[in-house]
Amino acid sequence: MTRVAAVGEAMIELSLQGSAAKVGVAGDTLNTAIYLKRSAPQLEVNYFTCLGDDPFSDQIEHFIAEQDIGTGAVTRITGKSPGLYAITTTNDGERSFTYWRSAAAARDLFKTAKGTDFSVLAHYDLVYLSGISVAILPQAVRLELLSWLSGNDIRLAYDSNYRPRLWEDRQTAQEITEAFWRRADICLPSVDDEIALFGGDQNAVTARFQGYGGTGALKRGADGPLSIGEPVTQAYRPAPSVVDTTAAGDSFNGGYLAALLSGASQAEALHAGHACAAHVVQFRGAIVPRQDR
Strand extents, DSSP E, 104-147? 111-112, 115-116, 126-130
pLDDT at 113: 86
Q: Check: CB of residue 214 under 8 Å from CB of residue 185.
A: yes
pLDDT at 73: 94
Query: Hey, what amino acid is at 187?
Result: C
Query: Hey, what amino acid is at 73?
Result: A
pLDDT at 286: 84
The pLDDT tens digits of the residues spanning 91-115 come to: 665 667 788 887 889 999 999 888 9
pLDDT at 61: 97
Catalytic residue check, 153: no
DSSP state for residue 14 in the 8-state scheme: E
Q: Check: CB of residue 207 under 8 Å from CB of residue 195.
A: no
Residues with pLDDT less than 70, the chain: 91-95, 291-293
Query: What residues are paired with 3 via a beta bridge?
Result: 44
Residue 24 CB coordination number (10 Å): 17
CATH of domain 3-7+28-82+103-292: 3.40.1190.20
pLDDT at 293: 52
Q: Is 218 helix (H, G, I), strand (E, B) or coil?
A: strand
Q: Check: CB of residue 26 under 8 Å from CB of residue 68.
A: no
Active-site option among 28, 159, 193, 250: 250
Distance of alpha carbon 55 from alpha carbon 124, whole angstroms: 30
pLDDT at 93: 58
Predicted structure pTM score? 0.93
Q: Check: CB of residue 244 under 8 Å from CB of residue 281.
A: yes
Question: What residue segments make up the domains of the chain, in order of their start?
Answer: 3-7+28-82+103-292
Q: Is 173 helix (H, G, I), strand (E, B) or coil?
A: helix
The pLDDT tens digits of the residues spanning 168-198 come to: 999 999 999 999 999 999 999 999 999 999 9
